[in-house]
Amino acid sequence: MHWLYLLLAFAALAVAFKTTSVAVLMVSLLAALGFGLAWVLKLLAARVDSQTRDTSLILDPAELRRLREQAEARRAAAGTPPPSQPGA
């Protein structure tokens, strides 16, 4: 969908180059600028959307606590001392 904005920007530039009227020139240049900005914003939005993680994969605090307790139990069974906290 965002490529449509780029095509419209090029069409508006083509109209600006072909016209002899100053009013049509200004309107088409402003339209080309607007469509160009819309294209960039939609392109960036699509890239950000493709990089987002699934929120269902985020652990809740109870699950995180359970995993920490399991890791502590494994370390205690192996006789390994717990790692020191950074900054503590």
Residue 6, in any domain of the structure: yes
Tell me what pLDDT residue 35 has.
Answer: 97
pTM for this predicted structure: 0.60
How many structural domains is the chain composed of? 1
Residue 45, in any domain of the structure: yes
Tell me what pLDDT residue 57 has.
Answer: 74
Residue 72, in any domain of the structure: no
Residue 44, in any domain of the structure: yes
Distance CA(9)–CA(2), nearest Å, equals 11
Tell me what pLDDT residue 29 has.
Answer: 97
Distance CA(65)–CA(81), nearest Å, equals 19
Q: What is the mean pLDDT of each run of 10 residues along the chain (88 residues)?
A: 92 96 96 97 90 75 90 85 64
Residue 9, in any domain of the structure: yes
Q: Which two tokens stand for residue 56?
A: 């269902």
Structural domain including 29 reads 1-50
Q: Output the furthest CA–CA distance in the chain (Å, rounded).
A: 85
Residue 4, in any domain of the structure: yes
Residue 15, in any domain of the structure: yes
